[in-house]
Structure 1
Amino acid sequence: MRSEIENVYRVFARYPRPARVEGCRHCVTENDHRDLLGAPLRELDAERLRRFSHKALNTWGDVDDLRHFLPRLLELALRGEGDLHGLFAKLHQGGWTGWPEDERDALRTCLSVWWEDGLTGTERPDAPLDTLAETGDDLAPYLDSWWGRDTPQALWALADLVSEVAHTMPRARDDRVVTWLATTRGWLENAFFEMSEAGQTELAEALSESRQLLDLVTLDEPVPREPEISPEPGADEPPGPGSASSEATGPEATGPPGPAETTG
């Protein structure tokens, strides 16, 4: 993500380093000021920026101050050295979707690369959609790029999302996400069988549980047309007994059998 971060530095260089970042004198000490302004932007570490990142836009600094420090805050957070969830919330609070186009584009490019890494990386994603939603940006492009992926990371993220939504009070659920989840029934079912055959037992069990939870989450949702994906070899062959498509034909379907039902 080096080039994307460098572009953020370039675009936001129009916001010069402030001589002093104004803040609540009861909340911000002189030591805080010295820490924040005591080194060039690219040399500030997470500890120096920690208090500003939490207090920005509330009791310390305005939107332009946030924009000046944003490239370094984003760089550290994307490296796991800062609070990415909190930073995305600050972006939302600062109204970044109304900022100049080149600023929005630079940030969205970083978000897209971070999102892609979460779906294709080597580790199980840590609630990436939940974190991304903090930005207040349109989630549709990210959901569209997610649909149908069969990497373990993408499937773990899907299973985690279904579980998270299922354990959220209905009135607190994001309708956009629930509507999208209603399109994932077949994807979950196919993924369950693929992961079972690949020996990914833990993931297959999670997908099986998610498929059953999905009916509760999307109980009142119509069955939407699922996004088209390229057919796999043999996809035109009629489903055999016990296949996902022969056992799950509508909103009343219960999804793939659980592990106990597949033994023996």
Structure 2
Amino acid sequence: MTKELEIAIKNLYETFSIYPFKSTMEGCACCVSDADKEKIHSKQLKDLNEGDLSRYAFKAMTTWGDTDDFKHYLPRIIELLATTDFIVDTFVVLGKLEYGKWQEWCDTEKIAVTNFLWAWWTDTTRNKPYFDKEAFTEIYKLTGEMEQLLNRWTISIEDNSFSNYVDLVYNYYNDLTGKRSEFREIDNSSVEKLIKWIKDNSKHLETGFFHFADKDSELAEKISTTQYIYEQT
């Protein structure tokens, strides 16, 4: 985890600590069982794990609790999303922000959420070995800032940012330059910015190939295929 992400998560806890724990929280009887309620009341907030919070993350605000309740649990849910293989999909968790009208929250809360999103994205590009399309798309939907997404993705052979780039081109470049069905939630002007960014960084493919040729034959082969895809599209 990057230091920036660590600080951003800490700030979320501090910012949303004004929303207290409720021993009772209204929920639809058909959707939320007593066992579900017991799980989120069983531990301190920072000790709740995926199993404790997964049901609530799905049901928050729609059939279980209100926006203030969601704000209480938000730091831990987001921390789990960023630091574990959280069983709740990214689009569900970040979609709850949109459902809760986070852009209408006070400035301090909006800034805390925004700082987390950017710190998490930077951490993702450096540490995940593949392009996280869901995180990329959902962060774009919440912020609308394609340039910031790309500016924070600094490609280096020394970390996974290069593997991320290779994976993006390998799996999605044809789609980006074609019907764009995989990126239909991103407007055309932003897609064009992404395509230009890919082209501007294509020089890394050749450099990366020679770097990994004797170190990781599987990755080198994928880089070679990726370069072919890029040049033929």
TM bucket (normalised to shorter chain) is: 0.7 to 0.9
Residue aligning to 1:124: 129
Residue aligning to 1:161: 168
Residue aligning to 1:241: none
Matched, 1:73 2:74: no
CA RMSD in angstroms comes to 2.7
Matched, 1:11 2:24: no
Query: How far is the alpha carbon of 1:149 from its aligned partner?
Result: 4.6
The 1:187–1:148 alpha-carbon spacing in structure 2 relative to 1, beyond 3 Å, is: same
Residue aligning to 2:207: 194
Superposed CA offset, 1:33-86 (max 9, x none): 222223222222221111101111322122221111011111222220523613
Counterpart CA distance in 1 for 2:136 and 2:197 is 20
Query: How far is the alpha carbon of 1:117 from its aligned partner?
Result: 2.1
Selected match of 1:102 from 105, 108, 132: 108
Counterpart CA distance in 2 for 1:114 and 1:11 is 17
Counterpart CA distance in 2 for 1:56 and 1:11 is 19
Matched, 1:89 2:102: no
Note the 1:1-264 alignment, pairs <5 A: 1-82=5-86, 83=88, 85=90, 86-121=92-127, 123-125=128-130, 127-135=131-139, 136-137=142-143, 138-146=145-153, 149-151=156-158, 153-162=160-169, 163-164=171-172, 166-167=174-175, 170=179, 172=181, 173=183, 174=186, 175=188, 176-188=190-202, 190-200=203-213, 201-214=217-230, 254=232
The 1:84–1:104 alpha-carbon spacing in structure 2 relative to 1, beyond 3 Å, is: farther
Equivalent residues of 1:42, 1:72 under 8 A apart: yes
Identify, as 1 or 2, the structure richer in helix.
2
TM-score, reference length from structure 2: 0.77
Counterpart CA distance in 1 for 2:174 and 2:157 is 22
Counterpart CA distance in 2 for 1:186 and 1:202 is 25
Give aligned pairs, total: 214
The 1:76–1:104 alpha-carbon spacing in structure 2 relative to 1, beyond 3 Å, is: same
What secondary structure, in the 3-state scheme, does the structure 2 residue paired with 1:182 have?
helix
Counterpart CA distance in 2 for 1:10 and 1:43 is 16
The 1:43–1:192 alpha-carbon spacing in structure 2 relative to 1, beyond 3 Å, is: closer
Structure 2 stretches lacking a partner, 5+ long: none
Query: How far is the alpha carbon of 1:110 from its aligned partner?
Result: 2.3
Residue 94 of structure 1 aligns with an amino acid whose one-letter code is G
Counterpart CA distance in 2 for 1:18 and 1:56 is 14
Asked which structure has the greater RCO (Cα within 8 Å, sep 6+), the reply is: 2
Aligned structure 1 segments of 4 or more residues deviating by more than 6 angstroms: none
Residue aligning to 1:220: none
Of 105-114 and 48-57, deviating more is 105-114
Equivalent residues of 1:119, 1:146 under 8 A apart: yes
The 1:159–1:88 alpha-carbon spacing in structure 2 relative to 1, beyond 3 Å, is: same
**Percentage identity across aligned positions?**
25
Query: How far is the alpha carbon of 1:102 from its aligned partner?
Result: 1.5
Equivalent residues of 1:195, 1:203 under 8 A apart: no
